[in-house]
Amino acid sequence: MASLVSVLIDGIIYSSYLFIIALGLTLIYGVMKILNMAHGSLYALGAYVAATLIGAWFNAGLNPYGSLALLALSALLVGVIAGPIIERGLLRFMYGKDEIVLILVTYSIFLILEDVIKLIWGVESYTAFQPYGLLGNIDIGALPYTVYDALLVVVAVLVGVAVTFVLTRTRQGKLLVAVIHDREISAAMGINVGRVYFITFTIGTMLAALGGALIAPKVSVVPAMGVEVIVLAFAVVVIGGLGSLPGAALGALIVGLVRSAAVHYLPEVELFSIYLVMALVLIVRPKGLFSAAEARKI
């Protein structure tokens, strides 16, 4: 019984950060129809920036609680610097090309970013463990969990709620939904599609970096981290349905729980189980669990 509870809790914690990353990926796909292979590298970028800032913060002996704000700051920094550079500098020249060609464009961005990260930070691992233990532990049943992990879940929920609120309740969000639905008609109605793309990509980048920054205190930050996470994020969004917000949440929950159940009960199948679920969902519902019916265009 205790192990079932810990499977659930571990799964939910893991889902939370997967959700934050996948949300950015699905948002970018929904609006721009780009399956961003560089998303994992942006996540890694967030983790590196966070680790660097936190390291400097603690070396300077500043108030330890301030380091939590640094996590959000690193996401913001990566978002407003890397996002616009990639979107304005490169992607905007590619709009209108085939979806597969766009994947390849982001694949080359992935290759470039991987080495940019190595050039800036080298190949050693970085750690930023201090914030993780900062808030103490809470006991759930007999098992101690860190408050940081609990906070991670709260942040994921807040991010999800905030994005949903913006999309459904604000003017900007409604414009965005219009573009998701039909780019050409939106442009004809006077929506500045280029601007919507720009904002979407920046926010998507920010979410990837936020995922990376939040995970940085829990792991050691190493060059290959983006390569691993991108296929997991693909699994999440494909399971939920590309471009769907509730889909990303459900997909993250499924992947998180499957992984933690596998880790606890059958460690041999950990990695394999996630992709098995992904393949099964694609087989049963080719467009994911939350895919909207699509009018056929000729």
Residues that bind other proteins (CB under 8 A): 35, 37, 90, 93, 99-101, 103-105, 107-112, 114-116, 118-119, 123, 227, 231, 234-235, 238, 242, 268-276, 278-279, 282-283, 286-287, 298
* Shortest CB 131 distance to other proteins, Å: 29
Please give the C-alpha separations between residue 108 and each of 38, 113, 142, 204, in angstroms, as whole numbers.
8, 9, 48, 18
Q: φ, ψ for residue 176 (rounded to 5)? A: -60, -45
* Shortest CB 44 distance to other proteins, Å: 13
**Residue 17 vs 234, nearer CB to other proteins:** 234
* Shortest CB 37 distance to other proteins, Å: 8
* Shortest CB 85 distance to other proteins, Å: 14
**Residue 174 vs 264, nearer CB to other proteins:** 264
* Shortest CB 231 distance to other proteins, Å: 5
**Residue 116 vs 191, nearer CB to other proteins:** 116
**Residue 136 vs 267, nearer CB to other proteins:** 267
**Residue 132 vs 275, nearer CB to other proteins:** 275
**Residue 118 vs 195, nearer CB to other proteins:** 118
Q: How far apart are the first and last CA of the chain?
A: 55
* Shortest CB 220 distance to other proteins, Å: 19
* Shortest CB 287 distance to other proteins, Å: 7
**Residue 127 vs 273, nearer CB to other proteins:** 273
* Shortest CB 225 distance to other proteins, Å: 14
Please give the C-alpha separations between residue 251 and each of 142, 165, 242, 288, 294, in angstroms, as whole numbers.
29, 20, 10, 9, 20
Residue corresponding to tokens 């934050």: 20
- Mapping DSSP onto H, E and C, the string for the chain reads CHHHHHHHHHHHHHHHHHHHHHHHHHHHHHHHCCCCCCHHHHHHHHHHHHHHHHHHHHHCCCCCCHHHHHHHHHHHHHHHHHHHHHHHHCHHHCCCCCHHHHHHHHHHHHHHHHHHHHHHHCCCCECCCHHHHHCCEEEECCEEEEHHHHHHHHHHHHHHHHHHHHHHHCHHHHHHHHHHHCHHHHHHCCCCHHHHHHHHHHHHHHHHHHHHHHHHHHCCECCCHHHHHHHHHHHHHHHHCCCCHHHHHHHHHHHHHHHHHHHHHCHHHHHHHHHHHHHHHHHHCCCCCCCCCCCCCC
**Residue 9 vs 236, nearer CB to other proteins:** 236
